Chains A and B, each alone.
Chain A
Amino acid sequence: KQEVTQIPAALSVPEGENLVLNCSFTDSAIYNLQWFRQDPGKGLTSLLLIQSSQREQTSGRLNASLDKSSGRSTLYIAASQPGDSATYLCAVPLNTGTASKLTFGTGTRLQVTL
């Protein structure tokens, strides 16, 4: 059974700092990994999706990396801003095929302070 772990569970950083969020998974036979953002009381916003053939994916100040062999992904946020405060979740699909149910980590709750 696939298990997804995220550390740290919570993180507080001052504005402007660069930071890294970690995601690990037990079954390396994945074909993609997706990072989401969740604001309090809201749904999930997709940030980045990395295919298994990719090692990195970038969107603005966000960079996600994937190392399948070690079962790890990182989300790098550059020059953090208070608006980045949210919970960040990683998820991997459970089955191959056209669409698959996602297994989520428990998330990292990020607070960026002024």
Chain B
Amino acid sequence: GAGVSQSPRYKVAKRGQDVALRCDPISGHVSLFWYQQALGQGPEFLTYFQNEAQLDKSGLPSDRFFAERPEGSVSTLKIQRTQQEDSAVYLCASSSFVYEQYFGPGTRLTVT
């Protein structure tokens, strides 16, 4: 595919469940970002990978959030023991060395 893809597109989780969100970046893009977007707000940075190295995880809101990119391509964002405040759209973006970030369609997470 030509763009960034994310799955699932929609996820409903009961409070306390664990969820895993997947991101497939554009082939060859070394940088991968995760953002969280609350309703009516702009996206907020969660974490950043360069290849398989997680270089910045300063935006992860709690230790319930964990991200990995073991082979430097696909990435997974995992949220343990989901809470209602985790309900948001989770966006993944990738970029090459020319700085412009390309975003996927997002995963809308609803915690009930």
Q: Report if A104-B31 is in contact (Cβ < 8 Å); known contacts: A49-B100, A99-B95, A99-B99.
A: no
CA of A105 to CA of B40, assembled, Å? 11
CA of A34 to CA of B104, assembled, Å? 16
CA of A34 to CA of B95, assembled, Å? 13
CA of A34 to CA of B42, assembled, Å? 13
Q: Report if A102-B106 is in contact (Cβ < 8 Å); known contacts: A34-B100, A43-B91, A93-B99.
A: no
Q: Does A53 make an interface contact (CB < 8 A)?
A: no
Interface residue count for B (Cβ, 8 Å)? 29
* Contacts of A3-41 to chain B: CB distance below 8 A: 4, 31-32, 34, 36, 41
Q: Does A98 make an interface contact (CB < 8 A)?
A: yes
* Contacts of A35-72 to chain B: CB distance below 8 A: 36, 41-46, 49
Which residue on B lies nearest to A42, using beta carbons?
B105
Count of inter-chain pairs, beta carbons less than 8 A: 65
| Residue numbers in A under 8 Å from B105 (CB-CB) | 42-43
| Residue numbers in A under 8 Å from B106 (CB-CB) | 42-43
Q: Report if A99-B50 is in contact (Cβ < 8 Å); known contacts: A43-B104, A46-B102.
A: yes
| Residue numbers in A under 8 Å from B6 (CB-CB) | 43
| Residue numbers in A under 8 Å from B50 (CB-CB) | 98-99
Q: Does A74 make an interface contact (CB < 8 A)?
A: no
Interface residues of A (CB under 8 A from B): 4, 31-32, 34, 36, 41-46, 49, 89, 91, 93-94, 98-107
27 A–B contact pairs at CB < 8 A? A32-B99, A36-B103, A41-B108, A42-B106, A43-B91, A43-B103, A43-B105, A44-B93, A45-B103, A46-B100, A46-B102, A46-B103, A89-B42, A89-B43, A93-B99, A94-B45, A98-B31, A98-B50, A98-B99, A99-B95, A100-B99, A101-B33, A102-B45, A104-B42, A104-B44, A106-B41, A106-B42
Interface residues of B (CB under 8 A from A): 4, 6, 30-31, 33, 35, 40-45, 48, 50, 56, 59, 91, 93, 95, 97, 99-106, 108
